[in-house]
Amino acid sequence: MAYSDKVIEHYEHPRNVGSFDKGDEEVGTGLVGAPACGDVMKLQIKVKDGVITDAKFKTFGCGSAIASSSLATEMIKGMTLEQAAEIKNTQIVQELNLPPVKIHCSVLAEDAIKAAIDDYKKKHSR
């Protein structure tokens, strides 16, 4: 399968790879997917005053999954939690030119963002 230039670019130079301390009060962690399905994404956000100041990811998956999560971290930096929660997978599909068989990668990235926000909110609802 031929990959789009944008997927290759993100795959070769992924943005924001890494991890924050899960226990940190300012951090929300989303872990989605399953090894048996061939993709797992971990996406973390650092939040101050309702704004995502930083984001990091690690992904086990195909090139499109890595690119989708890399792009997702770029997109959400500087957004409020509400804005980030509004991100739709179709924006990722468009930006990366994903073919139909790779749409699930963008869905997973959307899920990862939502899971990270939920985790952060849970920490702060106590």
Partner 1 sequence: MKLPIFMDNHSTTPVDQRVVDTMLPYFTEKFGNAASRNHVFGWTAEAAVENARAQIAALIGGDAKEIVFTSGATESDNLALKGVASFYKKLGNHIVTVETEHKAILDSAKRLQREGFEITFLRPAKDGTVSPEQVAEAVGPKTLLVSVMLANNEIGVVQDLEAIGAAIKAKNPKTLFHSDAVQGAGKVPIDVERMKLDLVSLSSHKMYGPKGVGALWVRRKPRVRIDPLIDGGGHERGMRSGTLAVPLIVAFGRAAEIAKAEMAEESARLRALRDRLFRGITAKLNEVYVNGPDPLEHPERRLSGNLNISFAFVEGESLLMALKDVAVSSGSACTSASLEPSYVLRALGAGDDLAHSSIRFGIGRFNTEEEIDYVIDLVTKSVSRLRELSPLWEMHQDGIDINSIQWTPH
Q: Does 2 bind partner 1 (CB under 8 A)?
A: no
Q: Which two tokens stand for residue 83?
A: 């804005």
- DSSP lists the bridge partners of residue 51 as 48, 80
Among 28, 39, 54, 95, binds partner 1 (CB under 8 A): 39
* Cα first-last separation, the chain: 48
Kindly state the smallest distance separating residue 70's Cβ from partner 1, in Å.
9
The three-class DSSP label of residue 15 is: coil
Residues identified as active-site: 37, 105
What is the helix (H) or strand (E) element at residue 54, kind and residue range? strand 51-60
Contact pattern for partner 1 over residues 107 through 126, marking x by CB under 8 A: xx--x---------------
- Tell me how far apart the alpha carbons of residues 95 and 107 are, in angstroms, rounded to a whole number: 14
Q: Does 96 bind partner 1 (CB under 8 A)?
A: no
Alpha helices, H only, the chain: 5-12, 63-76, 81-85, 89-96, 103-124
Among 45, 65, 79, 92, binds partner 1 (CB under 8 A): 65
Among 10, 16, 28, 42, binds partner 1 (CB under 8 A): 42
Contact residues for partner 1, defined by CB under 8 A:
1, 3, 8, 11, 14, 17, 19, 31-42, 58-63, 65-66, 101, 104, 107-108, 111
